[in-house]
Structure 1
Amino acid sequence: MQLCPQGTLLDIVNRVGTTGISQQGVCFDELFVMFFTIEIMRFLEGMHSAGFIHGHLKIDNCLLRLEDVPGGASALSTLYQPSVINFGRTLDMSLFPHNKQPTGDWPTDARDCFELREHRPWTYQTDYFGLVGIIYCMLFGKYIETSSITPQPPYNITTPFKRYWRNNLWMKLFDLLLNPCLVRPDGKLPLCEELVDIRHEMKGWLQHHCNRSSNTLKGLLKKIELSVYTR
């Protein structure tokens, strides 16, 4: 793909205070977080349905892709698309024997799934935990850490959600992503159908709230576009 010079989602997190997209002292406005979560979930569904594991999903691997607009920032439209990069750890599971699970032999940190950190076999868990880390960073403005998650399964985040967020949706998604092998009785992965169901719920909420009285989704995206062009 062509170079995307507009930066990454992490760049927006780092300058959230100057872009006007924060919400009552937290990081991104929930509307904005919901938008990007839906987009990345759709990407994962496509990858996993085709039998691919990205393997290195994190917020600094999510690029902003804004189309050049004649006339500069004053002529901006709402066309806005994220792209995911860095496929250096991507696995094509069709090349492995059925039910084969790899193990990792590289240094790990708090942004790696529990299986990798504990040298246990893994597959799609790495992408689900990567998505948790991206959402967490967008919501709270910092990387997910070991202390951010309960020490024993079923895992949950220890940082409380804001009372005005759509907590039932976030809790459902975080529970699935942190405990993917507990979702089905047989523990089978990937969880494409389950993710689709949650994504549709989130999409419905986003459609219902995108034109609220202040900070509409269109307005938030325009602020990001303007910040990219003026940085």
Structure 2
Amino acid sequence: MSPRQGQRTVCIPLETMDIPMSPEPPTFGLDVTMSPFQSSSKFRMDIPFSPAPEVRYGVDIPMSPDQGSKVNMDVPMSPTAQGAAAVELVSNPWDEELISSLLSKLSTPLTSQPNFITWQCKVPSIAPKMTIKMGEGSLRVDCVLGQGAFATVYQVTDLNTSEKMILKVQKPANPWEFYINSQLNARLQPSVRHLFNNIHSAHLFQNGSVLLGELYNCGTLLHAVNLYKNLSDKVIPQPLVMYFTVCILHMVEQLHNIHIVHADIKPDNFLLGERFLENKSFDQDNLDHGLALIDLGQSIDITLFPKGTAFNAKCMTSGFQCTEMQSGRPWNYQTEYFGIAGTVYCMIFGTYMQVTQEGGVWKTKYLEEIPTVICGQSSSTLC
């Protein structure tokens, strides 16, 4: 969503926020949200190189070090795999060779899409305060919003429209994120498309990729959790937690209905935009609640695998590894439910959820002191 005329867009650099990031540094799941597709002619980079007919994809889905392999095993069924006695087990759905193979077999190549542009050069140098020529317009690089091991996210301003946007630079390239974005465009109902990040355009270079999209300027659920720590109750009010939980469940359900597993559900990846500030209806069916699920670069397209396929790799954000990952059992949609539980837990208690296995039963670790009010009275235990 573009900023409304007369409204002030607020950029909160991540480095200025006193927030606990994920229990382990993410393999760059930065808060990047995009706006609906636009014509690529507006965003073609005006640099002295010609687009290449094809560039071999250097895919970076840095999750588990395990290599992708397939064997037939009896494993627990997923919600969409009913009636089969045995399913396919894929070791690592984020394996680079597997991702490259899946992309190479697409009936419609990414390079055929007008807003996917390849270049016969390396990613141009990008830094704050510089101006990047973009076709008929120019983008001023305002500041760095976040930086990880494999990507840097900048806030940029379109000098023609004054619109503030996100520029995500990834090294090596990650065309998979653009692919997932295109599938959301094709499979989701238009009425719910705004609940997920969307990419303006993608530029694939020899050593990396650049994604251009829209800026959400009201922070993440994690920011909200930390802001409430400075207030008397210390945590988000329970009615608001319940409302956000309903929104989150609905959003994840939309993804599962189109057979996409986000695979990185956590408070850091839910962003609030201006829709939230303008929202006057907290009805459970209201789709203008302002919450958006972002960072689909590690998502899994279940339709590209045999029905009932399960996986056994572990994501690198250990605090959000589902119990199946932790115990070495196959998983698919289970990782989503664990991520939802961990996100809700963080909103309720203001800290990350930790689980332990006792007598074959997985439980959340006991909190000696919970600085909150539960069921109307101060308590250190759940009621």
Structures share a fold, TM > 0.5?
Answer: yes
* Bigger fraction of residues in helix: 1
Q: Are 1:164 and 2:375 counterparts?
A: yes
Secondary structure of the structure 1 residue equivalent to 2:272: strand
Q: Does 1:142 align with 2:142?
A: no
Whether the 8 Å CA contact 1:108–1:117 is kept in 2: the answer is no
AA at the equivalent of 1:134:
T
CA distance in 1, matches of 2:334, 2:276: 36
Under a length normalisation based on structure 2, what TM-score does the superposition of the two structures give?
0.36
Q: Percent identity?
A: 31
Give ranges in structure 2 of 5+ residues lacking alignment.
1-33, 35-213, 281-287, 377-381
TM-score, with structure 1 as normaliser? 0.58
Aligned twin of 1:104: 313
CA distance in structure 2 between the partners assigned to 1:77 and 1:45 by the alignment: 22
Whether the aligned pair in 2 keeps the contact of 1:113 and 1:130 (CA below 8 Å) is yes
Sort the Cα spacing of 1:163 and 1:107 in 2 relative to 1 into closer, same or farther, 3 A: closer
| Distance across 2 between alignment mates of 1:5 and 1:141 | 22
* Rounded Cα–Cα distance in structure 2 between residues aligned with 1:103 and 1:135: 25
Partner of 2:266: 58
Q: Which has the larger radius of gyration?
A: 2
Deviations 1:130-165 (A, max 9, x none): 00110000000001123xx55344434355896517
Any idea what SS the aligned residue of 1:122 has? coil
Partner Cα separation in structure 2 for residue 140 and residue 131 of structure 1: 14
Q: Secondary structure at the match of 1:15?
A: helix
Say whether 1:89 aligns with 2:298.
yes
- In structure 1, stretches of 5+ residues that fail to align are 70-75, 166-170, 172-231
Residue-by-residue CA offset, 1:4-54 (whole Å, 9 max, x unaligned): 121101001111144x5x64xx51111010010000000111111211111
Q: 1:150, 1:158 within 8 Å by CA — same for their partners in 2?
A: no
Partner of 1:42: 250
SS of equivalent residue, structure 1 residue 6:
coil
RMSD, aligned α-carbons: 2.7
Q: What is the total number of aligned residue pairs between the two structures? A: 154
Q: Secondary structure at the match of 1:45?
A: helix
SS state of the match for residue 155, structure 1? Answer: strand
| Counterpart-to-counterpart distance in 2, 1:80 and 1:68 | 5
Which residue pairs with 2:330 in the alignment? Answer: 121
- Match in the other structure for 2:362: 155
1 CA distance for matches of 2:344 and 2:245? 7
Amino acid at match of 1:39: C
What SS is found at the alignment partner of 1:56? coil
CA distance in 1, matches of 2:243, 2:366: 21
Structure 1 runs (4+) deviating above 6 angstroms are none
User: Does 1:3 find its partner at 2:215?
Assistant: yes
More strand by share: 2
Confirm or deny: 8 A CA contact 2:354 2:365 kept in the other structure.
Answer: no
